Every structure is written in C-alpha cells, then in structure tokens.
Chains A and B, each alone.
Chain A
Amino acid sequence: MTQIKLNALSRETEDITAAYTAAGGDAAVLHDHGLASLVVSGNKVLSANGTEGIVLEKNETEHGVDIKLTIKKGYKIPLPVHLCFGMVPKDGLQEIKMDFVAEEDSAVELIAHCTFPNAEKVIHKMEAEMLIGKNASLKYTETHFHGPYGGIQVLPKAHVTIEEGGSYYTNFSLLSGRVGYLEFDYSVDAGKDSICEMVTKVYGKADDIIKIFERISLNGENARSVIKSRLAITDNAESIFRGITEGHAPRARGHVDCMEVIQGNAKAEAVPIVRVDNPLAKVTHEAAIGCVDKKEVETLMARGLEEDDAIDIIVKGMLA
C-alpha cells in the first residue's frame, strides 16, 4: 500500500514539476535544499522546505491547503523563496488559504508559479491575508500559466496590511496560454512611510474574461503607492480594470496607471478612482485604451515582418 502511495506521489511530483516548467519556472530550485520552497498540487503538499528565519506551516484541507508562512523578526532572507501551486488534472477545485507574516525588519522575496496546464474545468481560489511588519519588505512575483483551453476560473483575493516603513511590491503576470476567467481582487492598507507597488500584466485571447480590482488606502503619513496595469486583449476577450487609491493622510502620494491595447472584437473598460480626504495628500491617475500604434506596426513591417508578427512583438513589449 505504502509503496503504491509513494509511487503515486512521486508521479504527481513529476507531473507538477513538468507543469511548473511549462509555467516558466526553473524546476531545479524546487529540489534545492538550500532554498526555501513549497509545492502544492491540488490539495496535497508535495514538498515543503523552510530555511533559517522562515516558518512554514501547512495543513491539507478537503479542496486545498492552508498555509502559514512567517518570516521571523530581523531575518533578511538572502535567496528567493519559491512557491508552486497547481493542478495537473483537467478538472477540479483548489482552494489555497495563505496567511503570510513578515515580522518587523525582515525581508523576503517570494516567487510563485501557478500552473494549470490541462485545465478544462478548474477553479483555483486563493485567499491571502498578508502582514508586512514595521520596516519589513516583501517582494512577490506571481506568474500564471493556464494552458490552452480556457476552462479555468482563477480567483485570487488578498488583503495586505503594510505597517510603518514597510514595503510591498507585487507583480502578477499571465501572458502565455489562455486566461479563462480571472478575477483579481487585492486590497491594501498602507501605514506611515510605507511603499506599495502593484503591477498586473495580462494577455487575454478568445473569450477570456479579465477583471482586475485593486484598492490601496494610504492611511499613514507619507505612504506612497503605484498601481500599474498593462492589459492586452484580442478576439472576443473582455477586461475590466478598477484601480482605487485613497489618500487619507498628509503627504500620502498615490498614482494609478492603466494602459491597454485592444484588437479584434475585444472590449475593455478602465476605471481609475482617486479619493482624497486630506488636503495634503495627492493622488493622480492615467488610463489609456487603444489599438496598437500604426507607425510601430508599419516600421516593423518595413523591416520585413508580417503584420501579425509585428503586432505580437509590440504587444509583448508593452507587457514585458
């Protein structure tokens, strides 16, 4: 019995490793014991490796995994922590609950790959509560790969609290394969002297639906933030972007920036919202939706590229 289970597990490890590679990850890092990492497939934790200064607790649930990841006070983790969440089967539900704490004066970089290479009917839910402690720093990069079928719903939802002097950088990208249905919902409360930068980059095709909801509340004096979104949609894809920044404290500075290119029958809507109730705060925004610049396309065509290839290069450049 045990033998069979082990085989099944190692098979799953192989599958998810292949999926991780498909999503652009370097699989070697998942097996390097000098690096902290976590691999979750469906509702199984296939591997979990903490290093000094990192406490990793995990609990398998019916449809997923509850994770508590803590970076201990004062630890500056020198190398990135690699996370892999995914599902290899074509259908199923995965629910990840993540409780992340970066304690005072700690610093860490998390690199997550979320991979569903065969998804035809998959739901992936992520609910995260993140606390960036006083003077702590988190850099979080999340790259998604959803396969070619578009039969997936991805629902990441996070609430982030940044305490005094803390910094939080996040970069979410979903550029190859299909999107399916994406509802990205992040909300940030930013304290005194904190920094928050949220970047999302998504390329939607066919009948993909992209919803990006971001809210940053600049509650503390001198808190600064940027919301930056780069979306490209084509065919019949649709996107809605809503970026809210609220300035509630003196010298709080925020900026919302959304740039989208649309082609084919795609439909895009971008709503930057700025709210300020402190006269010493300043929040700005810009949003632009348009087709690919004609001169750029014609320049690349004049170098011998076909029109479609030219557009592809321009769009990928914008999303780079």
Chain B
Amino acid sequence: MLEVSYILSLKNLILSRDGKKLLRGVNLEVGDREIHSIIGANGAGKSTLAYTLMGLQGYEYEEGSIIFNGEDIAALSITERAKKGITLAWQEPARFEGLKVRDYLAIGAKGNGGITEEEIKEALRKVDLKPEKYLDREVGEALSGGERKRIELASIITMKPKLAILDEPDSGIDVVSLKEIVSLIRALKENGSSVLVITHREEIAAASDKASLMCEGAILRSGDPLEISEFFKNRCIPCDNRVSPPQVV
C-alpha cells in the first residue's frame, strides 16, 4: 500500500452552535502541497468548517479530531495554530482603520524572520494591485470590497503558510480576474503551501488536485474535482426536496 502523507486530517468533527448542529461529523483529508476545493450549497457549513480549523472563538468542536502535520491541534489557540503554519483568509475580510497595507502585509511574515519591501511589492503584484498605489493606503473603509479581498490574499502570500484556508477567494472579485486567483492559488502551492479553498466557482474547482462536496454539515464525497463538480451540479438532490439528511457516499 502507498504511504500517503496528509497535512490535514479531520476525523468525525462535530460542532454545535446555539443548539444547532453545524458540523455533523466531518471527515476530510488534505494532502501535502495539495489544492483541495470544498464546494457545496449556501449554508452547507463551509465557512463554519474553516473557522473551526482556525480555532476561532465560538467554534470549539465537541467531538472528533483535527490532525495537522501529524499533531492534534485541539488545544491550540488561533495564534499557536498560525505559528504552526495554518492561516485563514475570510470570506469577508476585516477592515483595519489606520493600518497601512505595507504594515498589514508584513505582520504575517514576522514568524518567518521578516520581509523586505520588495517582497511586499511582489505580493501585491501577484494579486494584481499596483504597489505604488496601494502600499501606503489604509486597509480600511476607503478600499473597495474587491481590493480588500486582494489584500487579504496578498497577506496569505507574505505569510507563506503550510496550509492556507481560503474562504471564497473569488467572491467580490470580477470575472476577468478569476484566472489571476487561480494562478495565485497555484503560486501558493508552488511556494510550498497546501491550499484548502472554499469556492462556488467551477474554474477554481477545476484547478484543484482534489475536491470535496459539503452538504448540511458533512462531507458527502471527495475525489476528482470535475467528477465532484459534476455530481454537485447534476446529481445532487436539491436540499429543499429531501426528507432526511443526506448520506455520505
């Protein structure tokens, strides 16, 4: 049998919030330097899963395990997880009044011995923002939603994480720029990161090594991205028409 090395392995993850079961026993494996898409309907629990992996407050799971790089990280804080190499780009990034783009992008690189101005500029170019126009702007209200998303992604590039969790990196980004997001995800992989990317876009799923379909708080099936996309589009029973929760295939 082939020995497969996983950077992330989730076993039967269960999480409830306000009395509602949001994760119903998630099983998932992400390989080292793999691009892995999570697709699924609105409300399936994709963001919830991302927050749980990052260890955000209010997302403490009650059962199961998260094994990252061979280690159970249940007890680790957000900061400790980040120091181990996990990071998250939010579906809707936070705003930071008074914090300059250059300083924001340098924060994630602190753990890797810092960053040069040229590297910061390079990260901005990778998300198609002109460094001279953005370096000294604030990561605040004056930026458009799309610009904020790009800066969020640039901050992942400068951090060089082992595992980047990207929650809909394509949302709020114009269609023309979709292929840049795809090449950015590939660049992350080339730089040594594994990428867990939550997406509604086929282009992104198609560029992945593997995909998983999430439905009502569980991973229904994992496998070849095209096959998973196709299943989701054409063979998934619409959620409203179902009588009982979907079964894992």
* Chain A residues close to B by CB (< 8 Å): 293-296, 298-307, 313-314, 316-320
Chain B residues, CB < 8 A from A296: 94-96
Report which of B82, B96, B97, B111 forms a contact with A301, defined as CB distance below 8 A: B82
> Considering the chains assembled together, what is the distance between the CA atoms of A319 and B97 in angstroms?
9
Q: How far is the CA of A302 from the CA of B98 in the complex (A)?
A: 20
| CB of A62, distance to nearest CB on chain B (Å) | 43
Complex Cα–Cα for A317 and B95 (A): 11
| Residue in A303, A306, A316 whose CB lies within 8 Å of B155 | A303
* Residues of A close to B79: CB separation below 8 A: 301, 304-307
Chain A residues, CB < 8 A from B96:
296, 313-314, 317
The chain A residue sitting closest to B158, CB to CB, is A303
A156 to B54, CA, bound (A): 48
With a CB–CB cut-off of 8 A, which chain A residues contact B95?
296
Q: Which residues of A contact B138 (CB under 8 A)?
A: 317
CB of A320 within 8 A of CB of B98, answer yes
Whether the pair B98, A304 counts as a contact (CB closer than 8 A) is no
Excluding A295-B94, A307-B79, A314-B99, 11 further A-B contacts by CB distance (< 8 Å) are A294-B57, A296-B94, A299-B94, A303-B107, A307-B77, A313-B107, A314-B96, A317-B99, A317-B138, A318-B98, A319-B98
Interface residue B120 (Cβ < 8 Å from any Cβ of A):
no
A5 to chain B, nearest CB (A): 47
* Closest CB pairs A-B (n = 3): A317-B98, A320-B98, A303-B108
Using Cβ atoms and an 8 Å threshold, which residues of chain B touch A305? 79, 82, 107, 110
Q: Give the distance in Å from the alpha carbon of A16 to the alpha carbon of B108 in the complex.
A: 39
Separation in Å of the A299 CB from the closest CB of chain B? 5
* Contact A298:B56 (CB < 8 A) given known A306-B79, A317-B97: yes
Q: Are A302 and B107 within 8 A (Cβ)?
A: no
Q: How far is the CA of A30 from the CA of B95 in the complex (A)?
A: 39
Would B108 and A304 count as touching, CB distance under 8 A?
yes
Do B57 and A302 touch across chains, with their CB atoms under 8 A apart? Answer: no
Residue total for B at the interface (Cβ-Cβ under 8 A): 27
Q: Does B134 contact A (CB under 8 A)?
A: no
Report Cα–Cα, A306/B77, bound state, in Å. Answer: 9
Q: Which residues of A lie under 8 Å from residue B111 when comparing CB positions?
A: 304
- Chain A contact residues, majority secondary structure: helix
Task: Give me 19 A-to-B residue pairs in the complex whose CB atoms sit less than 8 angstroms apart, sorted by A's number.
Answer: A295-B90, A296-B96, A298-B54, A298-B78, A299-B94, A302-B78, A302-B82, A303-B107, A304-B82, A304-B83, A304-B87, A304-B111, A305-B82, A313-B99, A314-B96, A316-B98, A318-B97, A318-B98, A320-B97
Contact across chains for A304 and B159 when beta carbons are under 8 A apart = yes
Cross-interface CB contact of B88 among A294, A302, A306, A318, cutoff 8 Å = A302
Structural contact, A304 and B107, CB atoms closer than 8 A = yes
Q: Which of chain B's residues have a CB closer than 8 A to the CB of A295?
A: 90, 94
The residues of A that contact B110 with a CB separation of less than 8 Å are 304-305
List of A residues within 8 angstroms of B90 by Cβ? 295, 299
Roughly how many angstroms separate A316 CA and B110 CA in the complex, as a whole number?
A: 18
Contact of A303 with B98 at beta-carbon distance under 8 Å, contacts A294-B57, A298-B78 already known? no
Of the candidates A302, A304, A320, the one whose C-beta lies within 8 Å of that of B54 is: A302
Residue of A at shortest CB range from B85?
A: A304
The residue that A303 contacts in the complex, of B56, B57, B82, with Cβ under 8 A, is B82
Nearest Cβ on chain A to B52's Cβ, whole angstroms: 13
**Which residues of chain A come closer than 8 Å to B77, judged between CB atoms?**
301, 307
B83 to chain A: which residues have CB within 8 Å?
304
**Bound form: Cα–Cα A303–B85 in Å:** 9
Say yes or no: is B93 at the interface (Cβ < 8 Å to chain A): yes
Q: How far is the CA of A301 from the CA of B80 in the complex (A)?
A: 9
Assuming the contacts A304-B110, A318-B98, A319-B98, asked whether A299 and B82 have C-beta atoms less than 8 A apart, the reply is: no
CB distance from A27 to the nearest CB of B (A): 27
In the complex, what distance in Å separates the CA atom of A71 from the CA atom of B88? 56
